[in-house]
Amino acid sequence: MLSKNEILSLLKTKEIPKDLLEEAYKVRKYYSGRYVFFRALIEISNICQKACFYCGVNRENKNLKRYYINLETLKKIFEKVKNLKYTSVAIQSGEIISKKHFEFLKKIVTLAKSKYNFEITLSLGELPKKILKDLFSLGARRYLLRFEVATPKRYYLYHYKDNLHSYENRIKTLYTLKEIGYQVGTGFLVGLPFDNPLNLYKDIRLIQKLKPDMIGIGPYIPQKYTKLFNLLEKGVKILNEKDRFFLNIKLIAIFRILLKTPNIVASTALITLGTKFFPLEEVLNFAFKAGANVIMPVFTPSKEKKLYALYENKYFSEHEKFYDGTLKASFIPVLERYGNPISYYIRNFK
Ligand code: SAH
């Protein structure tokens, strides 16, 4: 177990002690061997009602063509991933609050469950409780909602303070999801401007408090048409790319040691930064050895994929590359199982 002081001192230096990685790998191997759960990620729309200062699909970005994938296209994608032997899909989009959107989501979940029996992860922002309940009863079982920033004071450095951007509502939604029965995934952005070790410690504490079934953290990567980009242009400093990459790796190891049993994702943002310096298999090897055990190749059609522009030069995370990369990194891709985290089994079969 790591004490507060140990964690803080880990966060204050750039080094990753060898024994931290060794310990994390020991825990990883004990609970999930060398397995890596694959989930097919489909980004159904880049339309968003929010204006997060770090995010490229923020509603104020007028340079971005907006898209919304239709059911026919989605069916084709489901067929494709089914043929590749996927059993787990993740559906992500900007935050859209509209009846039409909700009806579409219900159709998607119904199709994915009744026709393909996929295990479904949703990542659609802070939807109202009623629709979250409906989607659960139609068969969705996992929900990914990062809290992004752990304390209200810092949250409003990167968000407006209004009805659509409420720290309170984001946290409340996480508890609602748990209450409904979803396996909840959450996490935060690593290396935002104005970050420091003490803030990061608070992010870690909130993860410990929420005890999620899945942890999804990712390094912040600037995007041109965002408020934060303007700040960077004016000279506000952030950690360099390599340091952000390794800080994320270090955090994965810390979480594997602290919480042991949740799934932890090797995020696309992490892979985007890592592959600027290392071959993919090395990046995956860093992440998986530190304790990551989930990866989400993107199956959004290529035209739309480019428009899901959360940040610059997003890694083209294709199935084949990730599959081969995982094998080359000496880990084992798992597609034919849902990939529940150990935390889920412990909760349900005690
Ligand atoms: N609308 C959904 C999905 C958001 S996109 C929601 O609100 O949860 C998924 C994640 O991308 C976000 O949670 C955020 O942490 C991450 N993201 C956004 N902008 C980013 C950036 N510039 N760099 C790295 N990650 C970013």
DSSP 114-177: HTT--EEEEE--S--HHHHHHHHHTTEEEEE---BSSSHHHHTTSS--BTTB-HHHHHHHHHHH
The answer to whether 105 and 42 are in contact (CB under 8 A) is no
* pLDDT in the model for residue 28: 98
* pLDDT in the model for residue 349: 81
* pLDDT in the model for residue 316: 84
* CA distances from residue 105 to 96, 102, 118, 285 in whole angstroms, order as listed: 11, 5, 15, 35
The answer to whether 293 and 329 are in contact (CB under 8 A) is no
The answer to whether 138 and 150 are in contact (CB under 8 A) is no
* pLDDT in the model for residue 348: 87
Cα of 48 vs centre of ligand 1, distance in Å, is: 11
pTM above 0.95, yes or no: yes
Cα of 55 vs centre of ligand 1, distance in Å, is: 6
**Tens of each residue's pLDDT in the chain, 350 residues:** 799 999 999 999 999 999 999 999 999 999 999 999 999 999 999 999 999 999 999 999 999 999 999 999 999 999 999 999 999 999 999 999 999 999 999 999 999 999 999 999 999 999 999 999 999 999 999 999 999 999 999 999 999 999 999 999 999 999 999 999 999 999 999 999 999 999 999 999 999 999 999 999 999 999 999 999 999 999 999 999 999 999 999 999 999 999 999 999 999 999 999 999 999 999 999 999 999 999 999 999 999 999 999 998 888 889 999 999 999 999 999 999 999 999 999 988 86
Q: Is 186 in the pocket of ligand 1 (CB under 6 A)?
A: no
- How many CA atoms within 13 Å lie on the side-chain side of 35? 16
Q: Is 216 in the pocket of ligand 1 (CB under 6 A)?
A: no
Phi and psi at residue 60, to the nearest 5°: -80, -10
* pLDDT in the model for residue 1: 78
For 92, the enclosing helix (H) or strand (E) is: strand 88-93
Cα of 18 vs centre of ligand 1, distance in Å, is: 31
The one-letter amino acid at 285: N
Distance, in Å, from the CA atom of 4 to the CA atom of 61, rounded to the nearest integer, reads 40
Distance, in Å, from the CA atom of 3 to the CA atom of 8, rounded to the nearest integer, reads 9
3-state secondary structure of 334: strand
Q: Is 101 in the pocket of ligand 1 (CB under 6 A)?
A: no
Q: Which residue, among 207, 253, 251, has the nearest Cα to 26 in the 3D structure?
A: 253
Pocket perturbation via mutation, ligand 1, pick of 47, 55, 105, 142 by most ligand atoms within 8 A of CB: 55
Q: Is 189 in the pocket of ligand 1 (CB under 6 A)?
A: yes
* pLDDT in the model for residue 317: 87
Q: Are strands 294-295 and 35-38 parallel, antiparallel or unpaired?
A: parallel
Distance, in Å, from the CA atom of 228 to the CA atom of 60, rounded to the nearest integer, reads 13
Distance, in Å, from the CA atom of 140 to the CA atom of 137, rounded to the nearest integer, reads 7
* pLDDT in the model for residue 100: 97
Name all domains of the chain by residue range, CATH numbers in brackets: 4-348 (3.20.20.70)
* CA distances from residue 153 to 160, 173, 199, 271, 341 in whole angstroms, order as listed: 12, 19, 11, 30, 32
* pLDDT in the model for residue 128: 98
Q: Is 125 in the pocket of ligand 1 (CB under 6 A)?
A: yes
Q: Strands (DSSP E) along 117-158, which ranges?
A: 119-123, 140-144
Residue with tokens 């294709």: 318
Cα of 310 vs centre of ligand 1, distance in Å, is: 6
The answer to whether 16 and 182 are in contact (CB under 8 A) is no
* pLDDT in the model for residue 301: 96
* pLDDT in the model for residue 312: 86
Ligand 1 closest atom vs CA 54: 22
